[in-house]
A and B are shown apart, each in its own frame.
Chain A
Amino acid sequence: MRVIDRYAFGNALRDVDPSQKGALALLAIILCLALDHPAVGILTLIWMLALTTWRARTPLRVFAGVLLTEGAFLSLSVVGIALSIAGGKPEAPVFAWQFGPVWVSATHESLILAAHVLTRALGSAAALNFLILTTPLIDLIEMLRRMRLPEELIDIMALTYRAIFVLLDSLERMTTAQDARLGYHTSRAAMRSAALIGSCLFLDAYRRSQQIQTALESRGLDGSLRVLPLDYRRDPRMWQIGVGLTLSLVLARMMV
């Protein structure tokens, strides 16, 4: 969370209009799903990797780290698609293992389907990673505001995002204070300390919400959180990248 946030605020595409980055990510996802082929998925992944590391200058290991985490969850579900478990001996499997009366097998079709799902999902995930690693949440919220999402929703998102960091700070302070008094000395104590923090954090969040409300009223709160719109730079290269992405993905689909 903090890592993604740090790179989102400190990359070379930070001041590019979030609508442009959002549109590019959306385009990649739509193409990836519509063209539905492993080659397209992999090519999308390569495009997004290149954009994030070259254009936005985010380190490769950060992009890879986020993608691998997502990949780990993905592979769990893909295994379920590729393999089937049955009581009898399967017909025409690519491979089959017998565990007592149970057969675990994979067919040609199931492997192809799994490959399709995996690459499609990885390509789409890579596109989203490009977006979140180059665009801070402030800018994404600003983008949604411009898309005329209901004000209440926007306000809640903005407050939640800010509150996450305030509560993380509280959590760290409390944990340190407990640790200093041997709160994590034994596993038993650690369980107790963690439970105590849970209730303390809740009270802390409640107190803070009241304080914020008071402070907002004091600055003339009038129903919604009206703030200045943010300014961005429009990057003409993003259009070219979008065209290049579309052409290359369509071409890749036609060639295979």
Chain B
Amino acid sequence: MSALLEFDDLHYTFPGSAIPALRGASLSIASGQRIALLGRNGAGKSTLLLHANGILRPAAGQVRLDGAPLEYTRRGLLRVRRQVGLVFQNPDDQLFSASVLQDISFGPMNLGLSITEVRRRVAEATDLCGISNLLDRPTHALSGGQKSLVALAGVLAMAPRILLVDETTSGLDPWMRHQIFAIFDRLVEQGVTVLLATHDLTVARQWADTVVVMHEGRVIASAPPVQVFADPDLRALLGPAP
């Protein structure tokens, strides 16, 4: 199985910060997988995700998509962002338009598609997320869960091969979480790789094919859940497992 996305020895320190956020993080992601990214607060999970589609550029190390290093040019970045979708933790930080339809159409419009194709993509993504009835509602009239689904649809409308999700499911009610995981499963069936950064050990254990553990800016484990949860050191690090 060849690697779809590779992080090779990434180092990164946020401007103005004394402590590096990443210190030699390496990870290889294969296609069509369910991946749970675990780690304590400040372990570098979000920073790693921001490197995956070129938002952040590593001080040292390399990110590779299909074996080719990322190019940090306008064309290179558009190419990687078309394939690697990133859903942010707080939907209010992602939804920029008061119109649900216009917000979801933003990504596909940037891909230079025709209006007809954009409409088709928006319809497909809203259908998959079960929010077709919200299209003519204003963003500020939606509930938190509905906003999360709209934010997800806005990324899915770009038809990424890899979907990176930053703790979106925390703070949602069980029904809404179930909806979102059902969407993830549909995507994996279609060959999309879904990586979810989470603190939920139950999700990691029951949903994921691979569990990745980060600690102090490094990836310290990447293995099937059975293996990760059998390791007493990792369990001690992650906290009491359910």
Contacts and interface: CB of A to CB of B under 8 A. Distances in A.
A77 B139 CA distance: 38
Contacts of B110: 219-222, 226
Contact of B94 (A136, A138, A169, A212): A212
B155 A219 contact: yes
A218 B86 contact: yes
Interface stretch (B36-44, B61-69, B95-103, B220-228): B95-103
B207 interface: no
Nearest to A14: B136
A115 B107 CA distance: 54
Contacts of B115: 228-229
A219 B158 contact: yes
Interface string B80-95: 0110011010101111
Contact of A217 (B55, B95, B99, B105): B55
B107 A220 contact: yes
B76 interface: no
A136 to B, nearest CB: 7
A249 B110 CA distance: 48
Contacts of B10: none
B165 interface: no
Nearest to A209: B93
Contact of B98 (A138, A219, A222, A226): A138
Chain B's interface: helix, strand, loop or mixed, by majority?
helix
A215 B92 contact: no
7 contacts: A162-B139, A162-B140, A208-B92, A212-B93, A220-B81, A220-B107, A228-B115
Interface of B: 50, 53, 55, 74, 77-78, 81-82, 85-86, 88, 90, 92-99, 101-103, 105-107, 109-111, 115, 118-119, 122, 136-141, 154-155, 158
Given A161-B98, A230-B99, 18 more contacts: A9-B138, A137-B98, A138-B97, A158-B96, A165-B140, A166-B92, A208-B92, A211-B88, A212-B94, A214-B50, A215-B88, A218-B53, A219-B106, A226-B110, A228-B101, A228-B102, A228-B119, A230-B102
